[in-house]
Amino acid sequence: MRFLLSLIAALFTHRKPPIDGPLEPAESSLARRHFVLDGTNIALLHGPKHPELRYVLAIAEFCRENGASVSCFFDANTGYLFKDNREEQSACFETLTTAQPWARHFCIVPSGTQADPWILEDAKEKLADVVSNDRFKDRAKSHRWIWKRRHEVLAAGGVLLLPSISAELDLLPQPEDYLATLASLPLCHSAPTAL
């Protein structure tokens, strides 16, 4: 009993003094983290006939607004999916992956390759989290860290959800609406590396 009383007394005598003045806003839990986006996987949440570039851009914008850096990889065939099924988003995808400042951070992997190895190597090198619904089962044994650093994406009623980081994102009407915002925010501390 004496030990318990001395423990309680110690807690009360080592309290921090009250803070004078306004409190500083708490830093976001995403601040100074890096996220690698599986662009094709995120864009194809509703299947290859319904790609949605806004999903990728909304996540990139959310991460940046919360102090995180972002890089994104698309499979080589993603541009064709937009041309064939969402022509109105095709021009924005082309701008995003070929024009600066965005193309430095939103990359299409070389023809004949998948984005998965690029995503995993970039995330491994930068100790980054990965945003993807892909479980990377074929590569998870050599990248065991992915089981703890992968964040799934859900879409429902014009809202994107990232449950593991408690994020609920409203979507802007057009993908082009994100380009101006993303151009003014540094997306990544360094460009994604080639394999």
CATH number (domain holding residue 113) = 3.40.50.11980
pLDDT band at 194 (very low <50, low <70, confident <90, very high): low
Q: Give the pLDDT score at 11.
A: 39
Q: What's the structural domain count of the chain? A: 1
137, 150 Cβ separation under 8 angstroms: no
**Cβ–Cβ under 8 Å, residues 157 and 76:** no
**Phi–psi pair at 46, nearest 5 degrees:** -105, 15
| CA within 13 Å, CB half, 3 | 0
Is 21 within the bounds of a domain? no
Task: Verify cis geometry, omega within 30 degrees of 0, for the bond prior to 101.
Answer: yes
In a domain, 9, yes or no: no
Predicted local distance difference test score (pLDDT) of residue 26: 45
Cα(151)–Cα(107) distance, integer angstroms: 20
Segments in 45-158 forming alpha helices (H): 53-65, 78-85, 87-98, 116-126, 146-149
**Contacts with 100 (C-beta within 8 Å, 6 or more apart), sequence order:** none
In a domain? residue 14: no
User: Residue 179 in 3-state DSSP?
Assistant: helix
**With bands split at pLDDT 50, 70 and 90, how would you rate the model's confidence at 2?**
very low
- Asked whether the beta carbons of 160 and 154 are under 8 A apart, the reply is yes
Contact 119, 109 (CB under 8 A): no
CB 80 within 8 A of CB 43: no
> What confidence category does residue 89 fall into, taking pLDDT thresholds of 50, 70 and 90?
very high
CA distance 97 to 79: 9
pTM, entire model: 0.80
Q: Are 123 and 191 in contact (CB under 8 A)?
A: no
**pLDDT value of position 69:** 92
157: in domain = yes
* pLDDT of res. 167: 94
The domain in which residue 129 lies consists of 32-184
User: Does the residue 165 lie in any domain?
Assistant: yes
Q: Is the pLDDT of residue 65 over 60?
A: yes
In-domain check, residue 189: no
Of 119-133, 147-161, 173-187, which gets the smallest average pLDDT?
173-187
Asked if pLDDT for residue 72 goes beyond 50, the answer is yes
Q: What is the pLDDT of residue 29?
A: 83
**Rounded to 5 degrees, what are φ and ψ at 7?**
-65, -45
What average pLDDT does the segment 86-105 reach?
Answer: 92
pLDDT surpassing 80 at residue 191:
no
Query: 192: helix, coil or strand?
Result: coil
Residue 26 lies in a domain: no
Q: What's residue 164's pLDDT?
A: 93
